Amino acid sequence: MSAVLLEGGKFAVLLGGTAAEREISLESGSNVAAALEAAGADVIRVDPAEDGWPERLQGVEFVFNLLHGPGGEDGTLQGLFDLMKLPYSGSGLLGSALTMDKIRTKQLWLGAGLPTPPFTLLTAQSEWSDLSEHYGALFVKPALEGSSIGMSKASSAAELEAAWQRASDHRGPVLGEQFVQGEEYTVAILGARALPAIRIEPAAGFYDFDAKYISDQTGFFCPAGLSADEEQALADLALAAFEAVGASVWGRVDVMREASGAWQLLEVNTIPGMTGHSLVPMAAQAAGLSMADLLAEIYRLSMEVRDVP
């Protein structure tokens, strides 16, 4: 797993795009492009928000896709690159499309016998009082967004309706997920390997957009303080969850641990952030991998799964 694999390669880094996570993608892509260049690669930065961007991919050997959210992480571009016979990083069309939809991800996990918090689809016709009484506190999320965009916690009928209204301003259906009291963890996946788990401690509230990308007060602990058996159980669960939804190559699985010690799966991210606040580079570092090593392994694993003559 050597960064030598990157030397002399002609790569495109996709960054920016038109989704709500554009600014995060610009930072992620810039960090990746700089690391590739430092490793000796020939890199062009391509923003799909610009007209004629596909023409810039002529002569490129491989695409590092750092587009977060709809349009880049949902199978759309994966399908395009498959048709172009252009190898790219990360999950393919199916895994990308499924994991972008939080509701279908949870349905698949339930079908596979994997633990995930109870949930419901929220609509304008929802009975807020009945739902609040049944579920107690709920996390309300746009089902097709990432980075906690549009997400909020609701502990009453009035809060639930207001949270649904905020989430419904974004594309797609709205998910109500039962609040889990406990510790939050994330596990980075690299091929068939789970990297060391990270325990997340937001300074206040929950791990929202500000806690992920802006605040310097969020605590990240790696090692996560788990016993060897607990770390292994979490790694096994994360790998099973990743595989169940057709994801591949690299990504991140977010998990809650209840006070009883039981794990509850939250979601899968197939193109995690690569910013200065991001968790996959942190986990890779804990595993002894530099950013160049991590990118070289993503490149190697991606080439193994792409159907390119």
Residue 116 exposed, middle or buried by CB count within 10 Å (0-12, 13-18, 19+): buried
Out of 31, 91, 132, 147, pick the active-site residue: 147
Residue partners of 241: CB distance under 8 A and separation at least 6 = 109, 114, 253, 265, 268
Out of 252, 257, 297, 299, pick the active-site residue: 252
Residue partners of 83: CB distance under 8 A and separation at least 6 = none
Query: Does 27 qualify as catalytic in the annotation?
Result: no
Closest-CA residue to 269 (of 6, 21, 1)? 21
Out of 21, 74, 101, 208, pick the active-site residue: 21
Out of 65, 269, 278, 302, pick the active-site residue: 269
Residue partners of 130: CB distance under 8 A and separation at least 6 = none
Query: Does 278 qualify as catalytic in the annotation?
Result: no
> How far lies 301's CA from each of 116, 249, 252, 282, in Å?
28, 6, 16, 20
Cα 93 versus chain centre, distance: 15
Query: Does 21 qualify as catalytic in the annotation?
Result: yes
Closest-CA residue to 30 (of 18, 42, 51, 13)? 13
Taking the C-alpha atoms of residue 66 and residue 149, their distance in angstroms, rounded to an integer, is 17
Closest-CA residue to 242 (of 233, 253, 232)? 253
Query: Does 267 qualify as catalytic in the annotation?
Result: yes
Out of 88, 207, 213, 299, pick the active-site residue: 213
Out of 16, 92, 95, 273, pick the active-site residue: 273
Query: Does 273 qualify as catalytic in the annotation?
Result: yes
Contact yes or no for 21/74 (Cβ under 8 A):
no
Query: Does 213 qualify as catalytic in the annotation?
Result: yes
Out of 145, 267, 293, 297, pick the active-site residue: 267
Strands (E), the chain: 10-14, 42-46, 62-65, 119-122, 138-142, 152-154, 174-178, 182-190, 193-194, 198-201, 219-221, 250-258, 263-269
Query: Does 56 qualify as catalytic in the annotation?
Result: no
Out of 101, 254, 293, 297, pick the active-site residue: 254
Contact yes or no for 18/73 (Cβ under 8 A):
no
Closest-CA residue to 109 (of 262, 201, 5, 246)? 246
Give me the active site residues, please: 21, 147, 213, 252, 254, 267, 269, 273
